[in-house]
Amino acid sequence: MSEYNPIEENLDQLPPLLYKYKSFDEEGYGISMAAKGELFFPSAQKFNDPFENYFLPESKMIDLPEDELKEYIHKKTRQRFSDVTREKRIELESTAFERAQKFKDDPSLAAEEMLEHQYEQFGILSLVKEPTSLPMWAYYSNNHSGICIGLKTKALAEYQKFMFQEHQNLLLLHDVNYTEQIPEVSIDTPLDDSETKVKEEELVHYTKSNQWQHEDEIRLIFWNHPNSTCELGPDAIGQVIVGIEADDENVKELINELKSNNSNAVVKRAKKSSYEYGLDFEVIEEL
């Protein structure tokens, strides 16, 4: 699994464009992305994979004898919440102990609780490196009647840098890791600031069943901003490809919106290859 963060330092490892398959939806989200560089980061809860962010919980803490478990929780709480009152720490310790007991009875509760928490912590923009996938055109571009939008990787890197420097917001780009095995994640909070713990939890955001491997997805994660929108501007879009079955009226509206936003994107139309199961693209408009 590859990680491209910060993106600016890893541009040589990435193609100049990353692509997003979209439809000509009634709300106009597809055209807004193409014409304005408007990116939407939905919560993973809205994705079509029921195993999105799924993991198998592991814990050594909950197997401790009761007195050792209470001592562990006491030390952990004092370290993590050193600035709260004694009464508040006692309350936190009691809550943590009750939760550990519940997890001991039913470990799946740990996964469910962490999963719900994660859904509220980040949004995901799903991208790909190539615009040529017949299944992707069928799944996400309304059976080839939509569009595929080429987002400039350099513009993405500039925006990542701006968001961190100005707002301390994190935009992280990762290849998705496809595997047969569901990730195993420890639900124990270490007494120290463990990078291993952080990496282990992050892994679930980029791991999917290998049954999805044909998508070859690369994910842009926007931390603490689920279901949010960012507008990078029309210059962030380098190319817009129209599907084979796209309606002429939709194409006309798209081109008009691109022109009205002073876009410099190249507009192409997909067509069937004459010699293989694949797509060719021809320029229909240079703005």
Q: What is the mean pLDDT of residues 270-277?
A: 95
Q: What is the mean pLDDT of residues 272-278?
A: 95
Q: What is the mean pLDDT of residues 217-230?
A: 92
* The predicted structure's pLDDT at residue 242: 98
pLDDT > 80? residue 104: no
DSSP 212-242: GGGG-EEEEEEET-TTEEEE--GGGEEEEEE
pLDDT tens digits for range 9-54: 999 999 999 999 999 999 999 999 999 999 999 998 889 998 888 8
* The predicted structure's pLDDT at residue 98: 80
* The predicted structure's pLDDT at residue 95: 80
Query: What is the three-class DSSP state of 150?
Result: strand
* The predicted structure's pLDDT at residue 169: 81
> Which span out of 108-122, 184-198, 213-227 was modeled with the highest average pLDDT?
213-227
pLDDT > 80? residue 190: no
Query: Could you tell me which residue, 241 or 184, shows the higher pLDDT?
Result: 241
pLDDT > 80? residue 198: no
Q: Which percentage of the chain shows pLDDT scores above 90?
A: 57
Query: Could you tell me which residue, 192 or 78, shows the higher pLDDT?
Result: 78
Q: Which residues, other chains included, contact 246 with Cβ-Cβ below 8 Å and sequence gap of 6+? A: 24, 144, 145, 146, 147, 269
* The predicted structure's pLDDT at residue 286: 62
Pairing of strands 207-209, 237-242: unpaired
CA distance 269 to 249: 14
pLDDT > 90? residue 194: no
pLDDT > 90? residue 224: no
* The predicted structure's pLDDT at residue 195: 46
CA distance 186 to 203: 12
Q: What is the mean pLDDT of residues 3-12?
A: 93
Candidate from 56-70, 189-203, 232-246 with smallest mean pLDDT: 189-203
DSSP letter, residue 3: B
Name the residue ranges covered by the structural domains of the chain: 7-47+122-286, 60-106
Burial of 156-166, coded b for 16+ CB within 10 Å and e otherwise, reads bbebbeebeee
Q: What average pLDDT is seen over the chain?
A: 88
Instruction: Work out the pLDDT band at 191, boundaries 50, 70, 90.
Output: very low
